[in-house]
Amino acid sequence: MHFSVSGVDVLPFIPPLVAFLVSSLVASAGVSGAFLLLPFQVSVLHYTSPSVSPTNLIYNIIAIPGGLYRYIKEGRMAWPLTWIVVIGTLPGVFFGAYIRILYLPDPKAFKLFMGLVLLYLGYRLLSEVLGWNKKVKEQNELMQKKFAEQVAKKKEENSGRLAAGLPAEAVVKTKTVSWKKIEYEFWGETYSFSTTAILSLALVVGFIGGIYGIGGGAIISPFCVAVLGLPVYTVAGAALAGTFITSIAGVVYYHILATTAIASQVAVAPDWQLGALFGIGGLLGTYVGARIQKFMPDKVIKVILTILILFLAFGYISQYFF
């Protein structure tokens, strides 16, 4: 099948299949999978023009509601964190889209940028998995212990059958919201973080996400988990919600830029047909990923994500130099 806007030739079942596999794997960590689909489009489908970024954002718009529905239904949405992320990332997305078109139209330079972003994400997750941060390590060990105890309890109650690690009462309860601090409770533990710090981070994340075409969740989620020590069970929904809203804004802005003189030399408008095919597979995958999250220890989720990110990061950085 030929996609005229992007110039891609691929069998129509390949994009949704790839999107389903990717999103079902990473949605448990609060990531839509767009950061992995972009390398697939660039390296496998050879879609390297700036319009690949908004096409990737279309995938987010269609794919994310599936996972978001599960997190909302099961009470694992940290809403104050969600809105802070949205407020901070929106301005950054606009500036990022502008930079992508004006300064990074060359595929080789863009691959280096992708590699560096992925390398940072991988490093943050690796430091969290290996316990380099003592405070975060202690919090993670506590969560792991409670998860294991809950699984053992449920198995005993159900004659050894597999049971969910998170109980029904493991929901997010907001305690304090101010310009200084946000505090919430989850599964008997209290977590807090600086509001201004998240706002500043979200602005930078939006800028990077606008260039890369990922919406920002893939950066926000590792930071909240690895640096702030927030449990991945509470970060995932907020990260997906923020990515969803900023992706809509990013696609609109790319469409606006496509009508200006800035885009006269390069393709900027997204390929809606290709993006929709990826999105259909992602919609099913994010739902599945969000559904199975409570069956998985958070360390397993992080290890899988770390391996994938570092593999891609080193691959793209090496392609720039060799």
Domain ranges of the chain: 6-321
* Cα dist from 237 to 10, 67, 149, 156, whole Å: 32, 8, 24, 30
pLDDT tens digits, residue range 33-67? 887 888 889 889 988 888 888 898 899 899 888 88
- Flag whether pLDDT at 212 surpasses 70: no
The reported pLDDT for the residue numbered 284 is 92
**Residues near 51 by Cβ (< 8 Å), separated by ≥ 6?**
5, 6, 254, 266, 267, 268, 269, 270, 271
Per the model's pLDDT, the better-predicted residue between 107 and 63 turns out to be 63
Give the mean pLDDT of the chain.
80
Q: What is the pTM of this model?
A: 0.75
Per the model's pLDDT, the better-predicted residue between 37 and 114 turns out to be 37
**Which range (38-42, 180-184, 229-233) has the least confidence?**
229-233
Buried residues in 210-244 as b, exposed as e (16+ CB within 10 A):
bbbbbbbbbbbbbbbbbbbbbbbbbbbbbbbbbbb
The reported pLDDT for the residue numbered 132 is 67
Most confident of 122-131, 276-285, 302-311: 276-285
- Flag whether pLDDT at 20 surpasses 90: yes
- Flag whether pLDDT at 161 surpasses 50: no
